[in-house]
Chains A and B, each alone.
Chain A
Amino acid sequence: MHVLLLALRRLAASLPTLLVLLVGLFLLLQLAPGDTVDALVAQIGGGDPTMIDELRRHYGLDASVAVQLGRYIWRLLQLDLGFSAIYGKPVSEVILERLPATLLLMGSALSFAFAAGMALGVLSARRVNKWPDTVISTLGLIFYATPSFWFGLMGIVIFAVKLGWLPAGGMEEIGAGYTGLRRITDIAWHLLLPTVTLALIFLATYLRIMRASMLEVMNLDFVRTARAKGLSPRKVITAHVLRNALLPMVTLVGLQAGTMLGGSVVVESVFALPGLGRLAYESVVQRDLNTLLGIVFVSALLVIVINFIVDLLYARLDPRIVT
């Protein structure tokens, strides 16, 4: 209960941040050349001035900036993200359609990066400054320096074009009409390459942090005690070191949630996945600013929610935080 309260307090602390963000975005949008009405008029192919004025009044664009800002925030509080002129339906509807693919991709990439980063970090720390450590650290550096979209493209060339093992893109086999378990394996098959692509950069950071954190914890007194009482090295690590060494990793997940969302823009574009990131890209190309802002808002919410969960997890891993 106490933990929840603590996390809720942290959540409340992020509300002013969200407000700053929204006001900033709104003001930024005021700088953009052309408004919704301009976009609409351009789409229907011109119109006379009286109609344009009528439209402006209809959309409330004739009010002062301050009034518009107030209305905008009020609408967002009601989770009304506006209307997308390009897709011809409410922005929230468009976003909800695209959200599952992104969440699936992010979730699987995060799990993979976390698990592999942890395993490699532990391996590296146990053989510190020997050849496995050097190999793993070098790989980490290379992964970190590789542009994810390039890695994805090369993955397509090798595994889809040359070897023919994996599909080159898409979420599932279109028109195959799979259902149930067959459909799940099909989607997993399609997501394999995108997941690894998105995970690699984060894997590099995770393994580095895990290694440093393991080395730090392994020097502490309680670990020496555990060794002194005759525990096997494996048992010392799994029962004593790991839980403590995981704390910085968990923090990192919260910190990097936003970066991962940004990375999914590129990865979804490479693999033609119908997700939020691809939607963001399309709305930039089509100059659909309403949708783009909606995505930004939802992403910020998502990052805040992920950090809320991370706080809960953190308190669970380290009970000292609550007291």
Chain B
Amino acid sequence: MEALKRLSKTPTAIVGLILLVLVIAMALSAPLLFPKDPLGLAGRPLQWPFANARFWLGTDTTGRDIAAQIFHGARVSLLIGIVATLLAITIGIVIGAVAGYYGGVVDDVLMRVTEAFQTLPNFLLLLVLVAVFGSDIRTVTIAIGLVSWPAAARLTRAEFLSLRGREFVQACRTLGMRDRQIIFLEILPNALPPVIVYASVIMATAILLESALAFLNLSDPNIPSWGNLIGTGRSVLRTQWYVSAIPGLAILLTVLSVSLVGQGLNDALNPRLKSR
């Protein structure tokens, strides 16, 4: 509660929250405001924004409504961001917790695997996964989750290393609790706050990764993704630059809102750092 009160006092967090609520509202209202297929033909191609009252953000190269794609794109971006983040955080927590709690050989092996993932450029690994498993929207989301967990694992491991020797853990052991219970019910709740703050970074990166993949035409072509639209606009960049410009702004604002909320959370959970 105290943390929530502090959160509401930081101006950056408020700006972030307002932006985030706006994006969520766009995502929720998309099927109501634009009930037709956003990827269907809507009108004459390449109409500038505000030129036609029916398409207030204009139409793209094939005559699809840009506003409809932006609203439906918000759904896709948020969904991919949330699912991929949950996946990455779950993998990271399990690996980090097991490595940090048991230490020794288990820790060594798991950390080698984590380092292997960290040595590889995220985006390259994502390309490999897409090349092998295809670019269906589910595959892409899972792939993004699979490349994003190492930092979360390291954070969890560090927390576990410092917590596993504490008295309350020893007390649990004396009580005869199982390792699984100690790890997930006793230590994890104490180790969670920094990981939750870091989730905002993962989500911001996940949205950016998907948009980059879609921009390169390697994501699912059958969903209205902001990155896809920017890629479409590339062929008419010299004259109709708005086709690429508008979805880019949408990505920028969404990622900005997520990282602002994350920063606000960080300030609220670590009040000592607030002066920085």
Contacts and interface: CB of A to CB of B under 8 A. Distances in A.
B237 A281 contact: no
Contacts of B233: 153
Interface string B35-62: 0000000000000000000000000000
Contact of A141 (B119, B212, B259, B276): B259
B211 A147 contact: yes
Interface stretch (B2-10, B67-75, B86-94, B120-128): B120-128
Given A16-B112, A21-B120, A154-B245, A141 B256 contact: yes
A207 interface: no
A153 B234 contact: yes
A258 B119 contact: yes
Interface secondary structure of B, over-half rule = helix
B150 to A, nearest CB: 10
Given A144-B259, A281-B127, A303-B119, A150 B132 contact: no
B131 A284 contact: yes
Interface string A240-283: 00000000000000010011111101100100000000001101
Interface string B108-150: 0000110110111111111111111100000000000000000
Contacts of A225: none
A281 B133 CA distance: 16
A93 B250 CA distance: 41
B118 to A, nearest CB: 7
A96 interface: no
Given A17-B115, A150-B248, A145 B259 contact: yes
26 contacts: A17-B116, A20-B113, A20-B116, A21-B116, A21-B120, A28-B132, A31-B132, A141-B256, A142-B252, A147-B211, A147-B255, A149-B230, A150-B215, A150-B252, A153-B234, A153-B248, A154-B248, A157-B237, A157-B238, A161-B237, A161-B241, A211-B276, A259-B122, A296-B128, A299-B124, A303-B120
Interface of A: 14, 16-18, 20-21, 24-25, 28-29, 31-32, 141-142, 144-150, 153-154, 156-157, 161, 211-212, 215, 255, 258-263, 265-266, 269, 280-281, 283-285, 287, 289, 292-293, 295-296, 299-300, 303-304
Which 8 interchain pairs have the tightest Cβ spacing?
A: A262-B123, A150-B248, A262-B121, A145-B255, A145-B256, A21-B116, A258-B121, A261-B121
